[in-house]
């Protein structure tokens, strides 16, 4: 029962958090500042809870894995927000299916795994679904669909974010081996703040701090909702990993893609939703085939 609730919560909160990220980005907020504010709010909740745990007993392996995954998380989420600022949510949501292709490719290169026929079919379905979600001008040759898809700056940023998030997941899984999912989530929240703050100090243009703070004060409800949905998304991801095999969990998480398409239509009046929904269903089917049946043995 609890596992089912974790999965449903993860499916819902992921695209909902993307909605708040996109809203804030469209209002002019800096992507890395959005991530820093999210971790700051999560830290306010996490520190009192951590104070009551035996965190000093955690070993070097836990801290090493957490240090790596928090850097990857901040960078990946900042790229995701930048992508959401440039492209439609109903396009970027389905792109998440490419994480399965990336995982399959890494298995071939690093582990020598041979994809099954289902894995190859899954890759084909993801590519075929991509054909449907990209916008084309009237009369434009259909063969240019894939060129347009991969040339889109938002999609390029989303794919880069996927590479970082997929790598982050490896280190998160390693961290869970040395602590509970809850402890891992708490330190993911806390350690992300200094990483994001350092990037803000290094990259934020001088003189823009006051403007950014005013914007944060004006849109503070969106920041609160973003922190809440992001926290629930990350916590339920880790809790699900603790209950289910990772492959099956990732397959279930793909259902959030369909919600992303609907939310893009509902909150941002995005176009061609019917075609994008068809493409999303095809891509989800491909991703599920890859993560569940894509590898031999």
The confidence score (pLDDT) of residue 136 equals 63
Report how far residue 162's alpha carbon sits from residue 147's, in angstroms, rounded to the nearest whole number.
Answer: 19
Region label for 141, one of left (φ > 0), alpha (ψ between -120 and 50) or beta (otherwise): beta
* Terminal C-alpha separation, the chain: 30
Report how far residue 237's alpha carbon sits from residue 260's, in angstroms, rounded to the nearest whole number.
Answer: 17
Report how far residue 284's alpha carbon sits from residue 98's, in angstroms, rounded to the nearest whole number.
Answer: 10
Query: DSSP string of 152-173?
Result: -HHHHHHHHHHHHHHHHHHHHH
Q: Which domain holds residue 240?
A: 2-293
pLDDT < 70: residue spans in the chain = 110-111, 136-145, 246-247, 297
In this prediction the pTM is 0.91
The confidence score (pLDDT) of residue 70 equals 96
Helices (H), 27-152: 31-51, 60-86, 89-95, 98-111, 117-133, 145-151
pLDDT tens figures, 60-70: 999 999 999 99
Domain count of the fold of the chain: 1
The confidence score (pLDDT) of residue 125 equals 93
The confidence score (pLDDT) of residue 88 equals 94
Report how far residue 243's alpha carbon sits from residue 236's, in angstroms, rounded to the nearest whole number.
Answer: 10
pLDDT tens figures, 253-289: 888 999 999 999 999 999 889 999 999 999 999 988 9
Residue in 82, 128, 68 with CA at minimum distance from that of residue 101: 128
């Amino acid at each position: 029962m609890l596992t089912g609730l974790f999965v449903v919560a993860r499916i819902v909160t992921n695209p909902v958090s993307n909605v708040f990220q996109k809203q804030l980005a469209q209002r002019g907020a800096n992507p890395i500042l959005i991530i820093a504010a999210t971790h700051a709010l999560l830290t306010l909740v996490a520190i009192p809870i951590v104070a009551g745990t035996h965190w000093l007993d955690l070993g070097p392996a836990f801290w090493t894995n957490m240090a790596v995954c928090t850097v990857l998380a901040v960078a990946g989420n900042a790229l995701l927000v930048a992508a959401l600022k440039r492209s439609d949510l109903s396009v970027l949501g389905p792109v998440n299916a490419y994480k399965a292709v990336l995982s399959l490719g890494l298995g071939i290169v690093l582990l020598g795994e041979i994809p099954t026929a289902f894995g190859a079919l899954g890759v084909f379905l993801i590519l075929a679904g991509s054909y449907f979600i990209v916008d084309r001008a009237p009369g434009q040759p259909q063969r240019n669909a894939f060129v347009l898809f991969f040339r889109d700056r938002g999609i390029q940023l989303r794919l880069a974010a996927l590479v970082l998030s997929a790598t982050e997941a490896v280190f998160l899984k390693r961290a869970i081996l040395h602590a509970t999912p809850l402890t891992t989530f708490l330190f993911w929240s806390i350690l992300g703040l200094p990483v994001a703050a350092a990037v803000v100090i290094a990259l934020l243009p001088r003189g823009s701090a006051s403007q950014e703070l005013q914007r944060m004060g004006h849109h503070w409800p969106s920041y609160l909702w973003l922190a809440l949905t992001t926290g629930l998304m990350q916590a339920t991801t880790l809790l699900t990993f603790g209950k289910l095999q990772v492959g099956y969990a990732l397959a279930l998480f793909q259902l959030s893609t369909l919600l992303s398409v609907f939310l893009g239509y509902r909150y941002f009046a995005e176009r061609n939703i019917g075609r994008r929904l068809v493409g999303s269903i095809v891509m989800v089917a491909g991703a599920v085939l890859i993560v569940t049946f894509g590898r031999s043995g």
